[in-house]
């Protein structure tokens, strides 16, 4: 079974065609560089409306069978930013470490990262993560920070494959030059 990934870009203006969405292309490009295992994506471009976000997350998990859902956009303090509220509303369990680590990474670049409200949750057997809206910030939070080729602050994707193992999703292998997935030795499967 291959990994199914739902990608959701949340933006009033991009969903209305005012400007081109850059979140989904950035995610597709990065995932293609990072994941060695077979995977497929399902994408959605939707407005910042809590009911629509909730319905989209439920559809991707409950009907489409996505094991991982990545959202981009709508996580700031503006009145229209309701992605975290929608995500928490459909959650079975909250995974606070993902949001904490994303803010930690972003704070290395901009002091306004403290305004970010990204969350990570589990719904059924799916991990849902709210990512920042900018392609550069998406990459940084997924991949982490490097100095002279050495990871100094791990990105959140290092923990994603093992989290997916624990909730019953397909086994995911990454390209270590992009992100070295962390698993305890007992959870590592031999490379096929």
Could you give the residue ranges of the DSSP H alpha helices within the chain? 12-15, 23-34, 50-58, 83-89, 96-107, 135-143, 160-166
In a domain, 158, yes or no: yes
- CA-angle at 10, arms to 8 and 15, nearest 5°: 105
**Residue 156 lies in domain:** 3-187
In a domain, 131, yes or no: yes
Q: Which of 120, 68, 71, 123 is nearest to 99 (CA)?
A: 120
Report percent pLDDT > 70 for the chain.
99
Q: Which two tokens stand for residue 74?
A: 């709508």
Q: What is the DSSP letter of 174?
A: B
Q: For residues 66 and 102, give the distance between their C-alpha atoms in angstroms, rounded to a whole number.
A: 22
CATH number at residue 15: 3.40.980.10
The pLDDT, as a whole number, for residue 192 is: 61
In a domain, 52, yes or no: yes
In a domain, 18, yes or no: yes
Measured CA to CA in angstroms, residue 28 lies from 64, 139, 147 at distances of 18, 11, 25
In a domain, 192, yes or no: no
Q: For residues 5 and 69, give the distance between their C-alpha atoms in angstroms, rounded to a whole number.
A: 6
pLDDT in tens, 147-181: 888 888 999 999 999 999 999 999 999 999 999 99
Q: Which of 135, 136, 131, 64 is nearest to 103 (CA)?
A: 131
pLDDT in tens, 63-113: 999 999 999 999 999 999 999 999 999 999 999 999 999 999 999 989 999
In a domain, 137, yes or no: yes
Q: For residues 105 and 172, give the distance between their C-alpha atoms in angstroms, rounded to a whole number.
A: 23
8 Å CB contact between 119 and 85: no
Paired residues of 11 in beta bridges: none
Q: Is the pLDDT of residue 4 over 70?
A: yes
Paired residues of 128 in beta bridges: 69, 121
Q: For residues 127 and 99, give the distance between their C-alpha atoms in angstroms, rounded to a whole number.
A: 13
Predicted TM-score (pTM) of the model is 0.96
pLDDT in tens, 123-135: 999 999 999 989 9
In a domain, 102, yes or no: yes
Domain count, the chain: 1
């Amino acid at each position: 079974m291959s990994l199914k990934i739902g990608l959701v870009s949340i933006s009033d203006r991009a969903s209305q065609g005012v400007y081109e969405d850059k979140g989904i292309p950035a995610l597709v490009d990065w995932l293609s560089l990072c994941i060695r295992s077979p995977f497929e994506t399902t994408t959605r471009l939707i407005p910042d409306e809590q009911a629509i976000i909730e319905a989209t997350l439920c559809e991707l998990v409950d009907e489409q069978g996505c094991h991982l859902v990545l959202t981009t956009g709508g996580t700031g303090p503006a009145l229209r930013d309701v992605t975290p509220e929608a995500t928490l509303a459909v959650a079975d369990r909250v995974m606070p470490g993902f949001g904490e680590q994303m803010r930690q990474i972003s704070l290395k670049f901009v002091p306004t990262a403290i305004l970010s409200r990204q969350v990570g949750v589990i719904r059924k057997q799916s991990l849902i993560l709210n990512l920042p809206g900018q392609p550069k910030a998406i990459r940084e939070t997924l991949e982490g920070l490097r100095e002279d080729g050495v990871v100094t602050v791990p990105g959140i994707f290092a923990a994603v494959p093992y989290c997916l193992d624990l909730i019953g999703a397909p086994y995911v292998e990454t390209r270590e030059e992009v992100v070295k997935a962390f698993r305890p030795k007992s959870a590592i499967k031999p490379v096929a």
